[in-house]
A = this chain, B = another copy of it.
């Protein structure tokens, strides 16, 4: 993500904090930068690695992640059943994830069909849709054979 985009994400977060009478701290700014500068899924632990040397405690990381989710810059993703995983969604198109059961790599695919399905399923039943969480488990064997690998591919952890 470009420096300008990171700046504007930071601006969004500052605005959010101001609205709630919360403070813009050194730690919060560093965390936003470190999150935005990489297109990579992360956990509290891997985020801790990214800010190693910046003197930010684990507790602050967890607390800031909550704020970033409420603010909408970050979302929790259903990649792992043992720990919470996150991604920043600032300027991203909606998408969902495929996890390869063999190599554990994570792939993103177009989320519009899922969103349509979400709208249809809920409306038909008398709900107002809010959000969804989805993960497809699959094998990437065919993918590797054909080598037709032009989509976004992200290695988990």
Binding site for B on A (CB under 8 A): 76, 78, 81, 84, 98, 100-101, 107, 109-110, 113-114, 117-118, 120-122, 125-146, 148-149, 151
Contacts and interface: CB of A to CB of B under 8 A. Distances in A.
Nearest to A111: B121
A138 B114 CA distance: 14
A36 to B, nearest CB: 24
A126 B139 CA distance: 9
B126 A148 contact: yes
Most interface-central of A76, A100, A110, A137 (chain B CB within 10 A): A137
A146 B126 contact: yes
A126 B98 contact: no
Given A76-B81, A81-B84, A130-B101, A122 B136 contact: yes
A132 B137 contact: yes
A52 to B, nearest CB: 27
Nearest to A118: B136
Given A129-B137, A130-B136, 15 more contacts: A98-B127, A101-B130, A113-B121, A126-B143, A126-B145, A126-B149, A127-B138, A127-B143, A128-B138, A128-B139, A130-B137, A131-B136, A132-B134, A133-B135, A134-B134
